[in-house]
Structure 1
Amino acid sequence: MITEYQGVWVFIEQSEEKIEHVSLELLGAGRKLADKLEVPLAGILLGDHIKSLGQTVIAYGADEVYLIDHPVLKDYRTESFMKGLIFLAEKYKPEIILYGATPNGKDLASAVATDLSTGLTADTTMLDIDLEKRLLEASRPAFGGNIMATILCKKHRPQMATVRPKVMKALERDDQKQGKIIEETISLSEESMRTKVLKIVKDVTKISNLADAHIVVCGGKGMGDAKSFELIQELANTLGGAVGGTRDVVEAGWLKHELQIGQTGETVTPKIYFAIGVSGAIQHVVGMKNSEMIIAINKDRNAPIFDVATYGIVGDAIQIVPMLIEQFKGALIEKGGEKTYA
């Protein structure tokens, strides 16, 4: 019976006894859902020597933590983690389970959904509750990012979704918050595992620094052409920031796909975000709206980007960006061997 299922769960992804930030973001989102449904929010911790993380999960919003500490769960494997999560889900019957849309999160969520014969919405960017029907409204881009699709799981439980990192906001840590840690045991043996972890190799490939950048300079088709778009790179270099672009820019071949920002690209939350020649379509805004400060430059004073901007400049970016570069270079000074601004 669907009515037997209650509670919102967040799978807490951790590595080397450190919680991945997307899980803290999901605790913030899960807190809102749980409060609407008037049910507890729980974090799910699976691993080896991870008991010390339980209080951290509570401090970031959880009322309860379901914890399985077992040597076989030391490193992530689909089989072992799936068994642990399914054991807990069948015993406690959660209404909703959220996972980070990370490689491990997506792998685990799909395996659990298959085994529990329930639905799963992937790469969600918005979450809400239809309170009357107690349905999770999981929204995600569809048809190449041209529309937003809201997906419901009406007949099966738990309702599940993977959520893109940096889309949700984590709550402020509250170490005074009280909660309950529920330790469970499960029968697992290394011999029964079909896969073995022989060695973990750290990723040394060169990847986009967009996700971690404090300053992001994003250019749109309003820059006119590939030559003019080079001003975006120059401004980013001057500020020590990262370059990003809209989907139109990527499709025009001015920028590589991994530097695209928006629903079908990266989600960023820098301290300062420059949106230059960017119109502000919802497909783009969802990927940067949580930036601390947004500075928009656009010729069209009615451009939607100004609705989310902290500061707006109405004018031709081709003329304005060189003036910004000149001003920033003029203010650049050397201090203690590092570049800073006067």
Structure 2
Amino acid sequence: MLFKEYIYIESLVLHQIGSNSCQEGVHYSKELVNIEQDLKDLLRSYFLSPFKTDDYYHFFHSSDIDLNEIFRYSSQIFANKGVFLEESKKIALYLYECSRHPGIKRGELYVVYFKNCILNGETIDAIGLFKSETKDKFIKVYTTPNGFNLEQNEGVSINKVDKGCLIFNIEKENGYIVAVVDNTNKGAEAKYWTDDFLHVCPRKDSFNQTQNMLSLCKSFVSQLPGENGKVEKATYMNRSVEALKEESVNINTFAERVFETPKLVSEFKQYKEIYQRERDIEIDDTFETESAAIKRRATGTMTTIKLDRNFDINIHGGEQYIVRGYDEERKMYYYQLFFKEEK
């Protein structure tokens, strides 16, 4: 967990990244930005507020981690803060070179040096990279001798970071611990920030293992035939969530507990192999779980039965107390719910 209230900005530099497809180039700052404490506090909130989970990544490269550009530039800064400005220019240029898709917008790159980050019980430094692409219009009110007047301006909204990452000075040998956020780009250009520029992949820790297992279960259950409506699917998802609340998970025990029948257990294991291969991830046969990765909303509509426009049934367990049937007279399906008391 990241304790944001203790973090403060030590250094900040801003570069302007033009459109690569229009050959606009990069406009570099020649010095660090000098800002007052009140603005530092505002910027700290702006930069850090999107990072709300313990979903972390690490830098990687297929042959040598030192060939990962952002890993190398970050390492230079952590080793000698005196090169912060020059290395930030290299980061800006590399971002520009990675922004070849015509759908990628021009914007500002903020390179920030953070102090006093507390992560996993350690106090460490971090480097933040943030790109603002979306401009909002706002109205400025100013006084005149006869009253007031209005003026339209355009600027960066402090309510949402478009793209960002935090590189924590810990576990360098494993590609550092990196947090990533991307709130824009939904088309073919969507992956340039994480894949092309940062070149990161999810850490193989308990949080990601748990989250990947939950996603695997959701994907597997969603493609099962629904002869008996959604009750069975909701049951499987509820069992999956409960099984992942244990301190550790063994894939064999998990599959038998959740899916019960040998046929489904075998199908689930086969599906797991395909799922991992298609997504280039690896879920260990045995791993420690992380409760923070399990959220009820993660199962989404899998545990909710929507009946026409009249009713929703949220199933959180007790599937033995719900029965599905068909009324020949009304030519409609129905559910029977059995309970002891109404709350």
TM-score (norm 2): 0.27
Larger radius of gyration: 2
Greater share of helix residues, 1 or 2? 2
| Higher RCO structure, 1 or 2 (CA under 8 Å, sep 6+) | 2
